[in-house]
Amino acid sequence: MGIGTIDNEYGVREGWVRDEDNEISLDGYNAFVQITTNDGTSGFSVKDSTGADVFKAKSDGDVIVTKNLGVQNQNPQEAVDVSGKIKTEQIQITEGAEAGYVLTSDTHGNAYWEDAYSAGSGITETEHRTLDQLVHLISEDSFEEIVYNANRITDIVIWTDSGKTTKIREEQYTYNIENRVSQILTIQYNSSGTEVERMTEDFTYSGGRIVSITRDVTLS
């Protein structure tokens, strides 16, 4: 059967159907499409109105899609736009990746790599207190005071009790113009409330990410 021609020169056989809308389909038992060239390569492509490939299946098994691909999505807005769950054994995001970075996102769900210090720990105040007790051997009876200014933490003070009798440790936060922490001053006190150690951490940013941390420790 010839389509658009008076003969069957191109080997289009019965089973192909061309309807009034010029849509071509293949109907038949165990139907398949195979296009083979004289040099032994095979391929199948779909072209747009300009003749450029928008879909191409190559003989080596690669499939190339030059437009957006929708999976269960009739109106894809990205290179691959999936409506539903994705299951995979591994995922690799190479842009911005650095050793020790954590994967975070903005309010729209756009994921990107960020230094753990810049991204923040994401723990609750209760978890922060529990961690302090484990790392610094702070008593469960101690009292943690958190001071805010313009919705930002400026001071965290650990007291021996809720009556604020004696300081155990204090952290003072300084922010830069981009609302990121530029410096943390940590002061340690002995059991008498006397300062014994002071550590300053200065953070340097580039492109919104921490590139260096300078620490200076002074013993009293």
Q: What is the pLDDT of residues 179-210, one digit of tens each?
A: 788 899 999 999 889 999 999 999 888 877 77
Report how far residue 127's alpha carbon sits from residue 13's, in angstroms, rounded to the nearest whole number: 71
For the chain, give the mean pLDDT.
Answer: 75
Rounded to an integer, the average pLDDT of 27-50 is 66
> Looking at the predicted structure, is the pLDDT value of residue 43 above 60?
yes
Residue type at 37? T
Rounded to 5 degrees, φ, ψ at 214 are -105, 125
> Looking at the predicted structure, is the pLDDT value of residue 46 above 90?
no
Q: Which residue has the higher pLDDT, 5 or 186?
A: 186
Rounded to an integer, the average pLDDT of 125-141 is 55
Residue with tokens 């400026």: 154
pLDDT of res. 122: 46
- Residue 18: pLDDT band (50, 70, 90) is low
**Beta strand spans in the chain (E):** 16-18, 24-26, 43-47, 53-58, 63-65, 69-71, 80-82, 101-105, 111-115, 143-149, 152-159, 167-175, 181-189, 195-206, 209-219
User: Which tokens go with 40?
Assistant: 């032994």
**Around Cβ 115, how many Cβ atoms within 10 Å?**
18
Against a cut of 0.85, is the pTM above it?
A: no
Report how far residue 148's alpha carbon sits from residue 158's, in angstroms, rounded to the nearest whole number: 15
Instruction: Tell me the pLDDT tens digit for each residue of 63-97.
Output: 888 888 889 999 999 888 899 998 988 888 888 88
Element (H, E) at 125: helix 125-136
Q: Strand 63-65's sheet: what is its strand order? A: 43-47, 53-58, 63-65
CATH class of 122-219: mainly beta
Q: Which residue has the higher pLDDT, 11 or 26?
A: 26
